[in-house]
Amino acid sequence: MSPSASAKVDLMDLVDVEGIRGNQLIGYGLVVGLDGTGDRGQVRFTGQSVANLLQDFGVSLPPNVNPNLKNAAAVTVTAEVPPSYSPGQTINVTVSSLGDAKSLRGGLLLMTPLRGVDGEVYALAQGDLVVGGLNASGASGSSVSINHANTGLIPNGATIERMIPSDFAERPDIMLNMRSPSFQTVTRIVESINERFGEGTAHALNATKVSVRAPVSSTQRMSFMAMLEGLQIDEGRVRPKVVFNSRTGTVVVGKGVRVSAAAVAHGTLTVTVSENPQVSQPGPFSGGQTAVVPNTAIDVRQEANPMFEWPEGASLEAIISTVNSLGATPDDVMSILQSLERAGALNAELIVM
């Protein structure tokens, strides 16, 4: 099968349903019970938070006193509420240090309200942290870190208090939003739905959106969505991609990447500057002083890499084989692919992260 040939894909792997989505929550809280690894005195808002907490329980601190508690840390608490979650259900929460705490290991998150983008409280979080990292240091200043100790997880650590409203059940139509715009795929989705449920059930609004008529009854609508999930769609042509991560030097060449006939020469210019200072001694009884004389050596070398040729329609295997034979680094690979794209010889989309 050719790289551009269509493949059967589940409908829900191609689209998102409008109105069915997760929602982000965030909160500010305190983690206590740390073994001296919490925020230090420089983080004043931790002390203010502790003072406010104590005041809620009837304990007042003297004015302008900052409690320097090394067993407490100010944190942000984040979570995502899945679609249609109701009060009483629980979700995982992630806790991250805001101040200069060394580690959150062994800490307990105190009750923290989690708010949505509208400022309303939708969940309450509390519980013991599970921290996968480790941070240890000695008196001499030496330290060792394994993973990250300033972020932890509380499984099922938040309880939903309010359901986030959704208009999915009230909409007259179901909107399917394409994850990757494609006129071919949208047309085939409409054809498949109309073939299964009758002409006029679905119609395309543009290359990214399909409107589908659905039953009004909630039970029938859920059954209708279940049948939609089972549809198999002939996916349209997807442009091949080459992804380059400039931070890690990772290059990923996707399936279907091909090049037109092209000749490539990729050379490397190396400039080496070395300093070898020398000591100049004055002559006997000359009255001179010993001086350090700089001695700089500059060496410029350019590797003479031969030009190589890719035949018309070279496949991914041919590209990898040729590049590996040259001993090219990931940076070299990206430079070659960028030059091929600018020359119009690469039928792929370059994505630089």
Could you tell me the pLDDT band of residue 1, with boundaries at 50, 70 and 90?
Answer: very low
The predicted structure's pLDDT at residue 171: 83
Report the pLDDT averaged over residues 88-110.
91
The predicted structure's pLDDT at residue 3: 43
Select the more confidently predicted residue: 217 or 261.
Answer: 217
The predicted structure's pLDDT at residue 148: 72
Alpha-carbon distance of 318 to 120, in angstroms, equals 57
Select the more confidently predicted residue: 276 or 22.
Answer: 22
Alpha-carbon distance of 349 to 218, in angstroms, equals 42
Could you tell me the pLDDT band of residue 245, with boundaries at 50, 70 and 90?
Answer: confident
Computed over its alpha carbons, how large is the radius of gyration of the chain? 32
The predicted structure's pLDDT at residue 307: 59
Could you tell me the pLDDT band of residue 306, with boundaries at 50, 70 and 90?
Answer: low
Alpha-carbon distance of 178 to 211, in angstroms, equals 11
- Among 312, 307, 322, 320, which residue's Cα sits nearest to residue 346? 312
The predicted structure's pLDDT at residue 4: 45
Select the more confidently predicted residue: 42 or 295.
Answer: 42
The predicted structure's pLDDT at residue 241: 80
Alpha-carbon distance of 210 to 15, in angstroms, equals 9
Judging by DSSP bridges, how do beta strands 250-253 and 241-245 pair with one another? antiparallel
pLDDT of 123 > 90? The answer is yes
pLDDT of 105 > 60? The answer is yes
- Taken in order 314, 315, 321, 324, the sign of the CA dihedral is positive
The predicted structure's pLDDT at residue 301: 57
Judging by DSSP bridges, how do beta strands 90-97 and 72-81 pair with one another? antiparallel
DSSP character at residue 276: -
Are 76 and 26 a contacting pair, CB within 8 Å? yes
- Taken in order 241, 246, 247, 248, the sign of the CA dihedral is positive
Return mean pLDDT, the chain. Answer: 79
The predicted structure's pLDDT at residue 324: 66
DSSP character at residue 67: -
